[in-house]
Amino acid sequence: MMKKRNFIILVTLCILVFGAIIATNMLAEPSLSQAVSESEEQNDISAANQQLEEPDETLSPAEPEKEPFKVVIDPGHGGEDPGAEGASGSYEKDFTLAVSLKVARLLEDVPEVEAHLTRDKDIFLSSETRDRPNFANELEADLFISIHANTFADPTVTGTETFYYHDNSLGLATIIHRHVAQATGFRDRGVTQENFFVLRDTTMPAALLEIGYLTNPEDERVMLTETFQQSVAEAIVEGIKEYLGL
At 220-239, the pLDDT tens digits run 999 999 999 999 999 999 99
Ramachandran class of 190: left when φ > 0, alpha when ψ lies in -120 to 50, beta otherwise: left
Q: Summarize pLDDT for 43-57 with one digit per residue, the tens.
A: 554 554 555 455 454
pTM of the model: 0.75
Closest by CA to 153, choosing from 214, 208, 211, is 214
Is pLDDT larger for residue 128 or for residue 18? Answer: 128
Among candidate residues 92, 161, 210, 220, the one labeled active-site is 210
Neighbours of 221 (CB within 10 A): 14
130-175 pLDDT, tens digit per residue, is 999 999 999 999 999 999 999 999 999 999 999 999 999 999 999 9
| pLDDT of the residue at 245 | 97
**Count of other CB atoms within 10 angstroms of residue 49:** 10
**Residue 65 is a catalytic residue:** no
Q: Taking Cα atoms as reference points, which of 143, 188, 189, 148 lies closest to residue 168? A: 143
- Could you tell me the residue ranges of all domains in the chain? 69-244
Dist. CA 96–CA 117, nearest whole Å: 12
As its CATH architecture, domain 69-244 has 3-Layer(aba) Sandwich (3.40)
